[in-house]
């Protein structure tokens, strides 16, 4: 099953042109949904107004070279390794779903458009791996670490609008795997299961269409906005505005100790590491 | 004035939901980010402001400690064991910072080890005093118990 391209068998039912057109329509829906979402929430307006406000209270100017360095740091930390998450479990789950989604979507497009570029078997393996990663990260998040469940005490089956993205994401991956499994077994002669195969293909199609067509109402567009917000956060820290937050003092600095004499008096000249405080426990005391 | 959340800084971790004594910090049903569901009921206790690992929660301070329009921000650094406050006036000219210790020992190490304490003797069990309650705290009909009468003196500073 893992080396079999499910779209090859599907081409007997639906022509490759139709499949390619479907992918183009989904890409247009994502782009359109993101633009509409940006216009509706006025995200770009807020972003630029906030940047202007931060610039007014900046204590130093950040050069273009330094900005490029910050962009590289955002790419390495926030984008590629989801370093903005304070909770390690959420970070791992996010990495699984993010890389699973990328592998799944890219391999789907390649299998339908350019299967000659990479060996079909390799592409099929990537496609299945992506779907499994999506399921692992998605279900872990959904049942255990979703903040509604973990901190609010809501039941896992209580659906809200914020769930459109995650639910359509893991149902897409789940139905894709079931469809692939049924189709693979159908190819081996179990003709009676062909009806079930089509049914799960329809479920896969519905989930997938919901995922890409609901950008305006779902959290899909966060993947484009988050890097911009992370860059703005780093620039604000570098230029000294930092939302007017207090300075991050070095407690061992004699100048700091002279300015705040309580520090050496009660904590000593070299204060020890105090540990994680309230973050020693997960925030689930509902 | 009540708390509000900078949505682009919040990652929906739930620390504010967990700590709010009024149970009014909740997760938004559309964006899964924290928000104050009932600003009228907010005591401005700053618990959520200090608990937020991303400093995503802010409060507009009252006019009784700085002219309106100022910014009052706090950073509770648990790993360093300090709390830092910054008040900046709206004209940007007056900018004050405060740094103070909030613990002198690593978190969780200042608790008495009750398992290692001696078992209370019979008279201690019968006494109306609480376990290990200092005698100078107890009321005594015959005399006024003081630190001095118990041979104790007050210590300066933070101690456990």
| Confidence (pLDDT) at A255 | 96
Hey, how many other C-beta atoms are within 10 angstroms of the C-beta on A91?
16
User: Active site includes B43?
Assistant: yes
Average pLDDT over residues B10-32: 92
Tokens standing for residue B117 = 């304490």
Rounded CA Rg of chain A: 24
Residues A90, A160 within the same domain: yes
Domain of residue A100 covers 6-238
**A220 with A33: CB under 8 angstroms?**
yes
What is the model's pTM?
0.80
Report the number of distinct structural domains present in chain A: 2
Backbone angles phi, psi at A88, to 5 degrees: -65, -40
Task: Read off the pLDDT band of B49 (50, 70, 90).
Answer: very high
**A163 with A121: CB under 8 angstroms?**
no
Portion 36-95 of B in contact with A at CB < 8 A: 51, 53-55, 58, 71, 73-75, 77-82, 84-86, 88, 92
Catalytic residue among B6, B43, B107, B131: B43
Query: Minimal Cα distance from A56: which residue of B?
Result: B92
Nearest to A245 among B18, B73, B80 (CB): B73
User: Pairing mode, if any, of strands B71-77 and B82-88?
Assistant: antiparallel
Residues A149, A206 within the same domain: yes
| Confidence (pLDDT) at B74 | 96
Number of residues assigned to chain B: 160
What CATH number belongs to B1-59? 3.30.70.20
Q: What is the pLDDT of residues A8-64, one digit of tens each?
A: 777 777 888 898 999 999 999 999 999 998 888 888 888 888 888 888 888 888 888
Q: What is the pLDDT of residues A186-231, one digit of tens each?
A: 755 555 556 888 888 899 999 999 999 999 998 888 888 888 889 9
Residue A211: inside a domain, yes or no? yes
Q: How far apart are CA B105 and CA A196, in angstroms?
A: 64
Residues A152, A191 within the same domain: yes
Q: Which residues of B touch A286 (CB under 8 A)?
A: 17-18
Residues A118, A153 within the same domain: yes
CA-nearest of A77, A105, A119, A125 to A226 is: A77
Predicted-complex ipTM score? 0.82
**A138 with A146: CB under 8 angstroms?**
no
Work out the angle at residue B51's Cα, subtended by the Cα atoms of residues B98 and B109, and round it to the nearest 5 degrees.
85
Q: What is the pLDDT of residues A140-162, one digit of tens each?
A: 999 998 888 888 888 999 988 88
Q: Which residues of A touch B106 (CB under 8 A)?
A: 272-275
* Residue ranges of domains in chain B: 1-59, 66-108, 112-152
Q: How far apart are CA B84 and CA B99, in angstroms?
A: 4
DSSP H or E run through B97? strand B95-101
Average pLDDT in chain A: 88
Residues A54, A18 within the same domain: yes
Q: Which residues of B touch A276 (CB under 8 A)?
A: 78-79, 107
Residues A77, A171 within the same domain: yes
């Amino acid at each position: 099953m893992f080396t079999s391209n499910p779209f090859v068998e599907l081409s007997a039912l639906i022509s490759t042109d139709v499949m390619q057109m479907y992918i183009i329509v989904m890409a247009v829906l994502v782009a359109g949904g993101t633009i509409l979402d940006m216009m509706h929430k006025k995200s770009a307006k807020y972003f630029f107004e906030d940047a202007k406000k931060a610039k007014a209270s900046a204590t130093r100017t950040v050069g273009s070279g330094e900005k490029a360095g910050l962009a590289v740091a955002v790419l390495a930390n926030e984008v590629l390794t989801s370093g903005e998450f304070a909770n390690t479990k959420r970070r791992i789950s996010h990495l699984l779903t993010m890389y699973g989604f990328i592998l799944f979507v890219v391999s789907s497009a390649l299998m339908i458009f350019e299967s000659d570029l990479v060996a079909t078997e390799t592409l099929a393996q990537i496609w299945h791996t992506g779907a499994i990663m999506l399921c692992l990260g998605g279900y872990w998040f959904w049942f255990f670490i979703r903040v509604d469940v973990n901190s609010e005490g809501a039941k896992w089956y209580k659906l809200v609008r914020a769930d459109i993205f995650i639910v359509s994401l893991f149902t897409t991956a789940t139905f894709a795997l079931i469809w692939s499994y049924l189709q693979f077994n159908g190819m081996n002669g179990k003709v009676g299961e062909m009806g079930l195969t089509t049914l799960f293909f329809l479920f896969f199609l519905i989930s997938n269409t919901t995922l890409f067509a609901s950008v305006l109402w779902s959290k899909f567009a966060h993947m484009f906005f988050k890097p911009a917000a992370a860059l703005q956060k780093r620039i604000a820290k570098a230029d000294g505005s930092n939302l007017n937050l207090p300075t991050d003092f070095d407690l061992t600095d004699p100048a700091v100790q002279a300015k705040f004499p309580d520090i050496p008096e009660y904590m000593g000249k070299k204060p020890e590491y105090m540990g994680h405080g309230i973050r020693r426990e997960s925030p689930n005391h509902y | 004035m009540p708390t509000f959340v900078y949505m682009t800084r919040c990652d929906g971790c739930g620390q504010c939901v967990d700590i709010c004594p009024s149970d009014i910090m909740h997760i938004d049903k559309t964006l899964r980010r924290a928000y104050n569901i009932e600003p009228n009921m907010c005591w401005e206790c700053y618990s959520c402001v200090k608990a937020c690992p991303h400093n995503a929660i802010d409060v507009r301070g009252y006019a009784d400690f700085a002219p309106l329009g100022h910014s009052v921000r706090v950073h509770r650094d648990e790993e360093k064991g300090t709390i830092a406050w910054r008040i900046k006036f709206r004209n940007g000219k007056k900018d004050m910072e405060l740094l103070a210790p909030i613990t002198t020992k690593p978190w969780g190490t200042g608790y008495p080890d009750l398992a290692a304490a001696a078992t209370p003797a019979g008279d201690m069990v019968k006494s109306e005093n609480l376990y290990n309650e200092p005698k100078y705290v107890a009321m005594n009909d015959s005399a006024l118990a003081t630190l001095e009468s118990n041979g104790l003196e007050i210590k300066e500073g933070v101690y456990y």
